[in-house]
Chain A
Amino acid sequence: MSSQDSGGRLYGLMAEFETPGALIAATEQARKAGYRKMDAYAPYPIEEVVHALGHHHSKLPLMVLGGGVAGCLAGLGLQVYVNAIAYPLNIGGKPPLSWPAFVPVTFEMTILFASLTAVLGMLALNGLPTPYHPVFNLPRFSAASRDRYFLCIEAVDARFHADGTRQFLESQAPTEVSEVEY
């Protein structure tokens, strides 16, 4: 019925495998065959697949660094502003800028900002949240979170051809190849 909701447009072809090995092999083949717009699904992270899909290092670390620096400056800046500019007070005979006392807060702010960046960044890079996604239309797909492995070549790929692509996938010894509709 989901296909009816979404007007039956083709999203891609999904091949199901039983072993990680098969998935890795298939993905590499697909890449050789020049497919780019594709994605692999597995119950746990498999490094080889990521390489096979062709994205290697993540942008996340840099973003987190940025977040950390921002947090650090924010924390220190706040304390300097408060004690030296906003309302300087004589606290226990200490000078307004008794910087050693400012270390802990600065540190905590650094961590806080960095962590938030890490989480939000991860979501952003993964395009989450995406409660609705065509691949969920595939009834067998729930096995992806148990012990089955999937490779999906998307219709938007330049080299995608309904029959050609299906043949290619069949050649990768899947347990099944099925169409995924919007």
Chain B
Amino acid sequence: MSASEEENGPGDDVKDPVLDDQAPRAASCAGGACGCGGAGAREDAAPALWRNLDELQQSAAFQQAVENEFPRQAVPLGLGVDRRRFMQLMGASLALGGAAACTKQPPEEIVPYVKQPEEIVPGNPLFFATAAPMGGGYALGVLATSHMGRPTKIEGNPEHPASLGSTDVFAQASVLGLYDPDRSKTIVNAGRIRTWEAFVDALTMELATQEGSGGAGLRILSGAVTSPSLAAQMTAILARFPLARWYQWESASDRSAVLGSRAAFGRDVSVRYDLAKAQVVVALDCDLLGKGPGAVRYSRDFARGRRVWESAPEGTAPGTMNRLYAVECTPSPTSTLADHRLALKPAEVGAFAAALAAALGVPGAAAPAGWNHPEAARLLPVLAKDLLAHRGSSVVAAGDESAPELHVLAHAINAHLGNHGTTVLLGEPIAARPTDPLADLEALVAELQAGKVEALLMLDVNPVYDAPPELKVADALLSPAARLRVHWGLYDDETARYCHWHVNAAHYLETWGDARAYDGTVTLQQPLIDPLYGGRSAHEVLAVLENRPGTGAREVVQGLWQPRLGGEPQWRKAVHDGFVGGSAAPAAGAGVNGGAVAAAARTITEALAQQQGYTLAFRPDPSAWDGRYANNAWLQELPRPFSKVVWDNPVLVSPRTARELKIDDGTSDGLQGRRAAVLRIEVDGASIEAPAWVLPAQADGVLTLTLGYGRTRTGKVGKGVGVDVNKLRTRAGFWSRAGAAARATGDRYELASTQGHFLVTDPAGVERPMVRRATLAEYQRQPELMHEAVEAPAHDMTLYPDWPYEGHKWGMAINLSACTGCNACVVACVAENNISVVGKDQVFRGREMHWLRIDQYYAGDYDAPSAVLNQPVPCMHCENAPCEVVCPVEATTHSFEGLNEMTYNRCVGTRYCGNNCPYKVRRFNFYKFADWTTESLKLQRNPNVSVRFRGVMEKCSYCVQRINAARINSEREDRKITDGEVRPACAQACPTEAIVFGDINDAEARVTAWKKQPLSYGMLEDLNTRPRTTYMGRLANPHPELEEKA
């Protein structure tokens, strides 16, 4: 049957009067086919939700692929999958799994302390406040869990302003970085292992000669620095070597922001937002909630404005809801919550900003001539009106990856709207020395080539890999004059290869330090464990340059802060709290100069002029960032937002662009397996080849490339994964570059993606109400509409009596209006529950092990979806669990508190439960996925969760180990468990508080209050599974004048 017939198929073949009139529409707009059908079939029905491109269009290729019953055989196993690396990841999977189930136990030993430390109670975990470093040198305040001296888990620090108890993916995954077996373990000099002393001698000798010349030949290249201690050391060093220079380089830097504020205010100013107060938020190419040092806090604040049923943030009446406009070239977690979303090319985003500024009457602003975009034209006036109506309670934010001009305009608009001081807070710079990293690196390269550099110290930077090729860093490093090149870092990476010395760095959990948070709050970092491989901290290295070798990191940090804080006790308190109270950056008054605005507008108009060809948009990768996390298996296996691809960084292209390029989305056999078309992207001679991922909501003509892949020198996890896109970056085209050419090479590349790509609307035109949604207006008009979507069977419609649950009755509620799909919950779950990494090959076969997945659906038109919906799906802990009834060995049962439990050691692995789970949340150990061999990884494991063996089923347990711990503590203290005392890893990590957990029998519990809301519904309620996990229907708040199903 041909594809075209296929399109009409639904209408024609399912003989259904309602449908036959839908059929032609199905034929006409393949994209909306079933969606329109759905809308037609049920008046109140929302537009179709769908997840696929080819499936949606029933393209011939797709059908072809699926019909072939053995594409695996047709195409060699795992084409494009490095089978070998997979095996490495699998560890000793080939060893007979039986061993794990062997009944005879090997004799075990107990090794007590010789002298037991005071604070340790054997078997009980300890928590330490510390600082997790983030991109740009910022810090996130975290609490690290330590089990008998082993850091096992990172949680947010509830006291810390940037965290408030939540975390992002990188903080969660950082604990694996500590135990990464591929970390650089030794000091290396010209390929030979050397001692620290040898290094110190070598360095001191060189410094002695430098001292003579006042350090004229000494250069230091570090990442962006906010750490006061580090800055102090630098100052000291520069005092000792007046002619020395300190440069900073960040591949994924806030360069545009720096340049922007310099242009706008004529000085360096730090900007942060108070989204709790903001009623209208405009994100211009800005991933406000997903990226950057403030993202976690911003998410928290913003989400409060979305929970209409809870007491709204101060200054707003209950029941009101903030509104988010997102104008961007590539979708971001932020824009999944947008009430209005506009996909434009980067230059057009600028134009939009300029036009907006003009519409708002910002002095000096002018709408770019000759730019007219229908959708923009429709949105602009409304947006302008909305902003003017919310003077002082709105935010216009420009992203780090946008042009400096955009920042200038944003500043101007905020100033004009009087947002400065209320929702937009200007402060003194947070970076120790704000710079344009490109200029810095360029200067360094120039000096290297000029032979001015004799000694170069590089602190955890990797310019050889991540600098734009035109800078020719590698060649420059080889300049004969530079006789001592030192690299200090966690990995022996590409840059280390060009250095005489490589010093292995200590992980942040291994040493002392400090850094500042998004608001400037000084966050202190304390070690939980001695350096596993004798790594050194940057402070120790710099101490040598300060000419006080042997000084430890603690002396440096404490030495700086104890006096400043006024004594030992204050210092202790600060360390205990994890941060220095009241150390946020002081406010800075600054006025925007109109000239800058006009200039910005001009630049934008020029940029707009040269938009021929495709525009490349570079973005830090949601998993690998700029490459520093490339070797983190948890992050690599994390389904990237939108594409849900793992272990790769495909080029994101919009459907229209895909059609232009004559490529399909490579849905080879309908699901995980994707045989993506390979694109050859060329610009000014430079070129790369990368698989394409067709992504709705992507701006037409824009190819999004993410950094951090194609590493040639890192651990075995990250080596050779994905494509290195830095090759296409230039000074001018640092974040976005126009004038690129792209064509399909005809090759195919297998991408592993964890989520199905299918219509939620079945051919009969009925939408499956996985995500129930409404606009605020609709909801206020008709609060019950979420329930009316599907009728759940009445409780008395059964022969059997309800099972009573006295005592606790655990339940979870997930707020779909707040979930940005940032994945923090997923990594948190992986870390807490010892979930195995299975590798690309197995994910490709549909065997990923994540207990918690985030389903993503698109709403509305295929080429320009009106909304992207995130739905976290853990186990539903159904009271009538279908999985339990079919288990032949009582391996999955219900607890007295109503948890659906999986008892691994009883499981024989029939997989019947997995088949019978309508939510498909059960995961099976097809091989021996858990790594039983790598010692360092064993240290990371949570001792309270069994490591699963081959051949058993596993699934979300609501973090039962935490529940049990809480119950035991409470019963020991003879009290009730308080609300919020038990929080599963996902709920604890979630930056938007989208996941709430608690005792449904407790009338006061937050979860109970949520579940009472009319918005609350259960997924697939109609199956009478009675899920304990319920969802808060998704609300959108479009502007009344643009009212539509968002």
Contacts and interface: CB of A to CB of B under 8 A. Distances in A.
Most buried by B among A87, A91, A98: A91
B800 A95 contact: yes
B304 to A, nearest CB: 36
Contacts of A87: 890
Interface in B871-915: 878-885, 887, 890, 893-896
B374 interface: no
B416 to A, nearest CB: 60
A90 to B, nearest CB: 4
A4 B207 CA distance: 118
B1026 interface: yes
* Size category, B interface: 10 to 19
A55 interface: no
A89 B896 CA distance: 9
A91 B890 contact: yes
A94 B803 CA distance: 7
Contact of B1026 (A89, A90, A91, A93): A93
A89 B800 contact: no
A95 B799 CA distance: 10
A94 B885 contact: yes
Nearest to B805: A90
A91 B885 contact: yes
Interface string A96-109: 00100000000000
B880 A93 contact: yes
B803 A93 contact: yes
A91 B878 CA distance: 11
Interface string B463-507: 000000000000000000000000000000000000000000000
A92 interface: yes
Interface string B793-814: 0000000111100000000000
B803 A90 contact: yes
Nearest to A100: B799
* Size category, A interface: under 10
Interface in B763-803: 800-803
A87 B890 CA distance: 10
Nearest to A98: B800
A98 B896 CA distance: 18
Nearest to A89: B893
B890 A92 contact: no
A93 B800 contact: yes
A90 B801 contact: no
A90 B809 CA distance: 14
B879 A93 contact: yes
A89 B879 CA distance: 13
Q: How would you classify the secondary structure of chain A's contact residues: helix, strand, loop or mixed?
A: loop
Interface string B1004-1046: 0000000000000000000000100000000000000000000
A44 to B, nearest CB: 46
Contacts of B896: 90
Nearest to B881: A92
B881 A93 contact: yes
Contacts of A94: 800, 885
Contact of A89 (B802, B880, B881, B890): B890
Contacts of A93: 800, 802-803, 879-881, 894, 1026
Contacts of A95: 800-801, 803
A176 to B, nearest CB: 64
A87 B906 CA distance: 15
Contacts of A89: 890, 893-894
Contacts of B895: 90
A89 B894 CA distance: 7
A21 B803 CA distance: 73
A158 B890 CA distance: 66
A92 B880 contact: yes
A39 B160 CA distance: 102
Contacts of B879: 93
A7 to B, nearest CB: 59
A22 to B, nearest CB: 61
B885 A92 contact: yes
Nearest to B884: A92
Most buried by B among A89, A93, A95: A93
Contacts of A90: 803, 893-896
B885 to A, nearest CB: 4
A95 B885 CA distance: 11
Interface string B855-883: 00000000000000000000000111111
A92 B894 contact: yes
A93 B885 CA distance: 9
Contacts of B1026: 93
A151 to B, nearest CB: 57
Interface in A12-49: none
A91 B801 contact: no
A91 B800 contact: no
Nearest to B896: A90
A171 to B, nearest CB: 69
B882 A92 contact: yes
A91 B880 contact: no
Nearest to B893: A89
Contacts of A91: 884-885, 887, 890, 893-894
A92 B1023 CA distance: 13
Contacts of A92: 878, 880-885, 894
14 contacts: A87-B890, A90-B803, A90-B893, A90-B894, A91-B885, A92-B881, A92-B884, A92-B885, A93-B800, A93-B803, A93-B880, A95-B800, A95-B801, A95-B803
Interface of A: 87, 89-95, 98
Given A91-B884, A91-B885, 5 more contacts: A87-B890, A90-B803, A90-B896, A93-B802, A95-B803
Smallest CB-CB A-B distances: 8 pairs: A90-B894, A92-B884, A92-B885, A93-B880, A92-B881, A91-B884, A89-B893, A93-B803
